[in-house]
Amino acid sequence: LKIKAETEFARAYHHGDLKNALIVTALKQIAARGPRALSLREVARATGVSHASTYRHFPNKESVLAMIAEQGFRKLSQAMRDAAERERDVRKILHRVGVAYVEFGVSHPHHLQVMFGDFIASQEAYPSLVEAGKEAYELLAYAVRAGQQAGRIQSEEPQLIELAAWSQVHGLALLIASGQIPADGIGPLKRAELVSGVLTLLQEGLSVKPKPSEQRRRGTRFAPKKP
Amino acid sequence: LKIKAETEFARAYHHGDLKNALIVTALKQIAARGPRALSLREVARATGVSHASTYRHFPNKESVLAMIAEQGFRKLSQAMRDAAERERDVRKILHRVGVAYVEFGVSHPHHLQVMFGDFIASQEAYPSLVEAGKEAYELLAYAVRAGQQAGRIQSEEPQLIELAAWSQVHGLALLIASGQIPADGIGPLKRAELVSGVLTLLQEGLSVKPKPSEQRRRGTRFAPKKP
DNA sequence: ACCTGAACACCGTTCAAGT
DNA sequence: ACCTGAACACCGTTCAAGT
């Protein structure tokens, strides 16, 4: 039914529509069977077009995956942006953005693989992919800054703070997306509780400590040495 | 030179030596060009044996990768065990073990990909792989428990604490191993400082808070509801 | 028991030729 | 301009046949 409709439609492809149609088909196949099983010939077949026509729109398979990775970063960015905007309590933005990151991975595990699974030899060959990745990172950094401005998160060594937040959220997303952790939770803890709990622990780690007098040289331990 | 020696040696393979030789060659190829580029035919060629002989020792390509992943988990476990034993201050074991995890990823990024990159459709088909993965996880959990026994890490919701630690360390390792973060550091911060800094922030998050009176319902927020 | 060569059904990529 | 069929050099996997 659906396949027949797609095939008939194929007769009308022109002005670069085919490029888009190929991406849509590839995305479906990746969602269904993972990026490692992706075959350009199969994509062309399902799109109702000869396998050689792909090369009129993409130089090679890697560039198809690069475009899909780029779209993934844009979707992830959108999800984080929505999460940040929907949260009115500025102290909780990082929490919400972190949840959005992890939930993106849970909903689109195969897409996450394309984004981080080393399918692209060097990202520098795809400037718009790099830009999309940076945008996603910036949204996370923004969430950290929101916490800092609310006086909740330490402001020293901002790059370190951002990296800690990114690692935490990224690791959790990948562990769940790769099935290393059951997607429905561990024991009595449901997934949402795990995610919320881990993010809360993160935030405690990044938080401004109430009694600086009790802290031993905090913030200087990893600072670059100065004469 | 070396290749010639290997080829001559091939004439003598028997009693299952070939199985091992194939794994060794595959490991070299993965280290050199990544697991996605691995070809069984090329491995057989480099081992000096016909491509069909592989199937006398492995049912398919996936099982080769499963065995390599298993070896990876064993090496990772060994690295964490060494780190734990070398640290005499029990309060710092988690820190050392975390560093070992990340450094393993930095040293063997392609091996880490085989372990976590979804090359094996379902791990359950390889019981010894599952067991090796559990062993690695247990070593991390052990490091958490060491911190708890030293009175440094919260003891409520142990599964949540372990997961937070695992996510943190795993995310950082993958970000560096996949080149998302430059392996030599960000700006003025060298890699060792980044890793140490992130792990310190983690430990602050997991730490026992000094004034329970200031904590609002800590430890109950994510506990399962009881009637 | 262990290894081999030939064969099958796939790939990604290229290119001359068609509309 | 855009698409196609045939061709090339690879795969993973199987199997009858060799020692």
Percent of chain A having pLDDT more than 90? 79
Distance CA(A30)–CA(A214), nearest Å, equals: 52
The closest CB to that of B167, out of A175, A186, A188, belongs to: A175
Task: Write down which residues 80-99 in A have CB closer than 7 A to strand C.
Answer: none
Q: A10 to each of A22, A88, A225, B223, how far by Cα in Å?
A: 11, 46, 63, 54
Whether B79 shows a pLDDT value over 50: the answer reads yes
Whether A27 shows a pLDDT value over 60: the answer reads yes
Distance B170 CA to D13 C1' (A): 35
**Portion 32-71 of A in contact with B at CB < 8 A:** 34, 36
Distance A21 CA to C17 C1' (A): 26
CB contacts, 8 Å: A31 with chain B: none
**Portion 83-142 of B in contact with A at CB < 8 A:** 113, 116-119, 123, 133
Task: Determine whether the interchain pair A164/B113 forms a contact, defined as Cβ–Cβ distance below 8 Å.
Answer: no
Q: Tell me what the mean pLDDT of segment B164-191 comes to.
A: 94
Task: Write down which residues 55-74 in B have CB closer than 7 A to strand D.
Answer: 55, 59-62
Whether A198 shows a pLDDT value over 80: the answer reads yes
**Portion 165-204 of A in contact with B at CB < 8 A:** 166-172, 174-175, 178-181, 186-189, 193-194, 196-198, 200-204
Give the total residue count for chain A: 227
Distance CA(A99)–CA(A80), nearest Å, equals: 9
Whether B1 shows a pLDDT value over 60: the answer reads no
Q: Are B219 and B227 in contact (CB under 8 A)?
A: no
- Rounded to the nearest integer, the mean pLDDT of chain A is 87
Helix (H, G, I), strand (E, B) or coil at A186: strand
Q: Distance from A113 to chain B by nearest Cα, in Å? A: 8
Whether A7 shows a pLDDT value over 70: the answer reads no
pLDDT band at B13 (very low <50, low <70, confident <90, very high): low
- Rounded to the nearest integer, the mean pLDDT of chain B is 87
CB contacts, 8 Å: A189 with chain B: 157, 159-160, 222, 224
A39 class by beta-carbon count within 10 Å (0-12 exposed, 13-18 middle, 19+ buried)? middle
Residue lying closest to nucleotide C11, CA to C1':
A39
Whether A220 shows a pLDDT value over 50: the answer reads no
Q: Tell me what the mean pLDDT of segment A161-165 comes to.
A: 96
A209: left (phi over 0), alpha (psi -120 to 50) or beta: beta
A220 class by beta-carbon count within 10 Å (0-12 exposed, 13-18 middle, 19+ buried)? exposed
Q: What is the sign, positive or negative, of the torsion defined by CA atoms of A99, A103, A109, A111?
A: negative
| pLDDT at site B208 | 80
Helix (H, G, I), strand (E, B) or coil at B87: coil
| pLDDT at site A4 | 36
Whether A222 shows a pLDDT value over 70: the answer reads no
| pLDDT at site A114 | 97
